[in-house]
Amino acid sequence: MRPARLGVADALRSLATRLPRVIKEHEILRVSGALDGEDASSVAAMARDEVLRWAQKRSGGLLPKDAWSHLSFEYLAGGRNCSAVRINTESADIWAVRADDPDKTVPGRVWTTEATVAFLGSRSAQFGLRLLVSSPEAELQIDPHVPGLVAQIVDRCGLVPDAYPIQVSPWLVDRDERANRLIEYLIDGSRKIPIIVLSVAENQEDEFSPRLDAGVLAKACAGLARVAVLPARFSWALTEEFGKRLSVFGGAARWYLPGFSAESDPYGGHRLILRESIEADPDGCANRIRWLAAQESLRNNKLDEEVLAFASIKSASLRIQQQTLLEQDASETVRLDAALNRIEFLEAEAERWKEWEQTLSDEHSAAEERAQVAEAQLQASAYRIQQLQDQLKADGREPDTSIETPVSWAEFADWCDTNLVGRVALTPKARRAVKNPEFDDPSLAARCLIWLANRGRNWKLGGGVGSIGDAEVEPGYWNSHCGSDAFDVTWQGRDYVVDWHIKSGGNTRDPRRCLRIYYFWDDISRQFVIAEMPAHRVTSAS
């Protein structure tokens, strides 16, 4: 019998099992803020001691004497290494620690924590932290969690990233005053970290117990995001202030990014996690929230600005050491040793950054692939909407015949989101404008959008055969080209020309009776987008 033939793929797989596993380093999260205390120097010293106590518990031994004098040191303990560097000049006092801690359950996975305490003259002392992990895993399966050191700093020193101190426990909205305070905080332009609002359903036995464990989530995200618990009896306050599209209630959870306002796009990052999703997979939803908090911390805290990298401080320290030896006219041997130390460190860091660059490239490629999939799904949804409309027509039914139009502008944006989704969308500017305009007939404006969602969209999807220019939308209201009033807008990262509008007839400019709905077509989502409404747009031509 002839021996089985070994294929190339089999040979490669066999070879791969004998090759060393590739270790990739991933940065998980960053934390930054001012240390809370009147005496900045004292609170900085207290924070250094907390870092050292935390590091020593993980080092497997006693840190050297220099550590407790807050000086530079190296402690090597077979994988549980810990080192510190300090730069103390007339203008700055920067102390940083890097500590390694092998994972207790996953072989080859090593956690690295970098903590920095910077005291800059008369300014408040600043605390920064980075959490990294090196692992051979193809996919990193973790639940992001800030190191326990953050809780120590919060408890003993206080940590303030913006106008609101960090808390390790969730914020309970238990009275009207706190509900109003939550609203103020959500729209505060100085807010730097996200807020996760966990609403409690009306039928929940304990009104302060949402479906997700608020205590665990608040501790895991301390310094990354704040967690608020919103009982059913207070959820009306958010709905009244922001409308249903931006509120959270009924056991759902919502993620509010910095920069949020009542005019924010509900699909622009302020993510809603429905109660059904939470009940079906609470652990998965909690993990998703943790990852959102961790990833947002990387975007918001710029490296070597809000958070200092240990490598940058170490490199600066070695450079200062070389300069000091030169000024002191040290021997060539001593200066050469210092130069070799610095070169060795820089070479190691260069190799580390090379690996880090490859990791970022891989993650960028994966993100691009996800974006392409999301765009394909968006287009598929648009096709499905059109297919359902065609089926209704084939059955002799016209879409939207039973829709009740809004009687007040307060419900207009929510009405549009609910009834015209996938066919007509409002830009943030249009959302602001329809909140309380002078035009006195929201029902008429809504019927114009229904016309656009049906006849206008069908015309566009049909290839634009014929013309809808100067078509009568409602008695006395017409669809027409903007002409010299056309203008440019940016929508979801792309530039468009707004060159069509629905307008009232006659020459009146009375804002109570003059209607203008400026719109453009988005080929990707296959829908019309309202750029501005309902007032006449003032331009140089008009």
pTM across the whole model: 0.71
Q: What is the pLDDT of residue 15?
A: 46
Residue range 207-258, pLDDT digits in tens: 889 999 999 999 999 999 999 999 999 999 998 888 888 899 999 999 999 9
Return d(Cα 518, Cα 541) in angstroms, integer. 16
Burial of 240 (0-12, 13-18, 19+ CB in 10 A): exposed
Burial of 126 (0-12, 13-18, 19+ CB in 10 A): buried
CA distances from 352 to 69, 140, 255, 310, 358 (A): 30, 19, 34, 13, 10
- For residue 399, what pLDDT band results from cuts at 50, 70 and 90? low
Return d(Cα 404, Cα 525) in angstroms, integer. 25
Q: Which range (157-161, 384-388, 522-526) has the least confidence?
A: 384-388
Return d(Cα 419, Cα 403) in angstroms, integer. 8
Residue range 33-85, pLDDT digits in tens: 999 878 888 999 999 999 999 999 988 889 999 999 999 999 988 789 999 99
Q: Which amino acid is residue 389, in one-letter code?
A: Q
Task: Report the CATH architecture of 171-280.
Answer: 3-Layer(aba) Sandwich (3.40)
Return d(Cα 319, Cα 310) in angstroms, integer. 14
- For residue 19, what pLDDT band results from cuts at 50, 70 and 90? very low
Q: What is the pLDDT of residue 1?
A: 45
Q: What is the pLDDT of residue 288?
A: 94
Mean pLDDT of 467-491: 88
Mean pLDDT of 9-24: 56
Q: What is the pLDDT of residue 12?
A: 47
Return d(Cα 396, Cα 456) in angstroms, integer. 20
Residue 281 pLDDT > 90, yes or no?
Answer: yes
The torsion region of residue 506 among left (phi > 0), alpha (psi -120 to 50) and beta comes to: left
Q: Which range (10-19, 20-29, 384-393, 402-411) has the least confidence?
A: 10-19
Q: Report which of residues 4 and 115 the model is more confident about.
A: 115
Return d(Cα 166, Cα 187) in angstroms, integer. 18
The 3-state DSSP class for residue 327 equals helix
Helix (H) or strand (E) holding 359, with range, is: helix 332-394
Residue 538 pLDDT > 80, yes or no?
Answer: no
- For residue 359, what pLDDT band results from cuts at 50, 70 and 90? low
Mean pLDDT of 484-490: 90
Owner of token pair 């969690």: 145
Same fold, 20-160 and 171-280: no
Q: What is the pLDDT of residue 257?
A: 94
- For residue 353, what pLDDT band results from cuts at 50, 70 and 90? low
Q: What is the pLDDT of residue 297?
A: 95
Mean pLDDT of 107-114: 94
Ordered by start, the domain boundaries in the chain are 20-160, 171-280, 330-397, 409-532
Return d(Cα 413, Cα 111) in angstroms, integer. 47
Q: What is the pLDDT of residue 11?
A: 52
Mean pLDDT of the chain: 85
Mean pLDDT of 105-127: 87
Return d(Cα 158, Cα 368) in angstroms, integer. 40
Opening angle at CA 411, ends 420 and 407, nearest 5: 95
Q: What is the pLDDT of residue 146?
A: 97
Q: What is the pLDDT of residue 403?
A: 85
Return d(Cα 99, Cα 84) in angstroms, integer. 9
Q: Report which of residues 324 and 380 the model is more confident about.
A: 324
- For residue 2, what pLDDT band results from cuts at 50, 70 and 90? very low
Max mean pLDDT among 4-13, 116-125, 203-212, 281-290 falls in: 281-290
Task: Report the CATH architecture of 20-160.
Answer: 2-Layer Sandwich (3.30)
All residues at 6 or more sequence positions from 223 whose CB lies less than 8 Å from its CB, including other chains: 31, 33, 129, 146, 150, 154, 159, 161, 166, 193, 297
CA distances from 310 to 85, 207, 313, 420, 471 (A): 8, 45, 5, 52, 66
Mean pLDDT of 487-512: 86
Residue 17 pLDDT > 60, yes or no?
Answer: no
